Structure 1
Amino acid sequence: MDYVIGVDLDNTIVSYDALIHKVALEMGLVSEGIKKVKRHIRDAVRQVHGDEKWQEVQAVIYGQRMGEAELIDGVERFFRLCKDNRVKVFIISHKTEFSNYFGGGSNFRKAALDWMERNNFFKEGGLAVSRADVHFESTREGKLQRIRQLGCTHFIDDLEETFCDRLFPEWVEKILYDPYGGQGHLDGVKVFRSWDGINGHLFRSGR
């Protein structure tokens, strides 16, 4: 297959829903009954405690507690299908090295690489991703330029804003991972609620 697939990392490959719920509870920011869904917790924290507290939660989950985050169902199968079909895959993430709000904290990029290491991304017998194919960009503009530079034919992301940006390469197939629904769904964007759906779309014979 002649695909070159780019994939976002946070909330596309990695699920933080349960971890955000746990951390926000520990910090006394939400009630236990709130849904374990990032956007629900984000909105609740911002409404009651302000955006700075939400940024503090994010600094914790993307840094010192990232090891507790989960691999989203279907992602492992995606990488194995790419390996079996000799499809080139890049992980392209808009991720700063450190928090823009809280100095002296954990290195977010190192935490992400450590998480990938623990989840067998870099093992030949695992998901067989090369560290050289993981790209962290400090801005969304940098992320979009990287997608263009690497010649991606497809890009998978959980945020439709990525595909709205005028810098997004027009030839790249836009695949939105939207597990909870509710995003606006733009023309020309293929929307899937699960990675099983994405895998079926990209590798029809491999369902």
Structure 2
Amino acid sequence: MIIGIDFDNTIADYTGVFYRVGCALGWLPESVGQSKNEVKQYFIDLGNEAKWTELQGIVYGKEITQARPYPDCLDTLKQWRKQGHTLKLISHKTRYPIIGERVDFHVAATGWLEANGFVGKIDAPFEKTDLFFNETKEDKLLRISTLDCEIFVDDLESIFNHALFPAQCKKVLFNTRSNDPTLVPVQLWSDIPDKL
């Protein structure tokens, strides 16, 4: 099978990273909640979404090293590859931040994947040629289609509900709750093989 996998918030876990970086920069009071959504809401409530956008650029760029792989993700992907499945990383990620220091997000994410054993090792689940960082959501969806993915794992329901998502591709919604009966929701990577 050809299995497509998203990157941000599907392989890379940013839990607490936006909070820690925001506090270190002096942009957040310590009383703000530690989740990404709580940090985002803090800036929205201040009417300062530009600062949130800038913080995202810092986290997805030079501070990406603070992210951690989700538990069991690497082992699950290695297992799939050993079983003969073809794995493709397909992410919607702009190349550079809209605001702030010009850091190449594609290079930063590739470096993170190498540092965490997803690329560049004999038993790594991906080759560099399996990594597809797409500038737009539409480009990501078209890539899922052109690579003939039979399964796709993503944390965003909006990807699965988009008109461009290929009808024949099985949807695995990671770490997100949903009332959509067409989605296969999973909380842990170790649960995905059982759902397939």
Compute the TM-score of the two structures, normalised by the length of structure 2. Answer: 0.93
Q: Deviations over 1:100-135 (max 9, x none)?
A: 233x51110000011111111123434231100000
Deviates more, 1:186-195 or 1:108-117: 186-195
Distance 2:184 2:139 in 1: 23
* Distance in 1 (alpha carbons) for counterparts of 2:161 and 2:195: 22
Separation in structure 2 between the aligned mates of residue 128 and residue 168 of structure 1, nearest angstrom: 24
Which residue of structure 2 aligns with residue 56 of structure 1? 54
Matches within 5 A, 1:164-179: 164-178=161-175
SS in 1 for 2:112: helix
Q: CA deviation at 1:68?
A: 1.7
With 17-26 and 133-142 compared, the bigger mean Cα shift is at 17-26
| Unmatched runs of 5 consecutive residues or more in structure 1 | 203-207
- Asked whether the equivalents of residues 184 and 195 of structure 2 are also in contact (C-alpha less than 8 Å), the reply is no
- Greater than 3 Å deviation, 4+ residue runs: 123-126
2:107 to 86, 106, 110: 110
How far does the alpha carbon of each residue in 1:83-105 deviate from its partner, in whole angstroms, 9 at most, with x for none? 22111110000011101233x51
Q: By how many angstroms is 1:156 displaced?
A: 0.6
- 1:188 match: 182
Aligned-residue CA RMSD in angstroms?
Answer: 1.6
Structure 2 unmatched runs, 5+: none
Aligned length: 196
Match of 1:31 among 25, 29, 44: 29
Partner of 2:195: 201
SS at match of 2:4: strand
Whole-angstrom distance in 2 between the partners of 1:41 and 1:199: 33
SS at 2:184's partner residue? strand
The answer to whether the 8 Å contact 1:6/1:91 transfers is yes
For the residues of structure 1 that align with 2:115 and 2:58, how far apart are their CA atoms?
19
- State the Cα deviation string for residues 149-174 of structure 1 (Å, max 9, x = none): 00000101111010111010011111
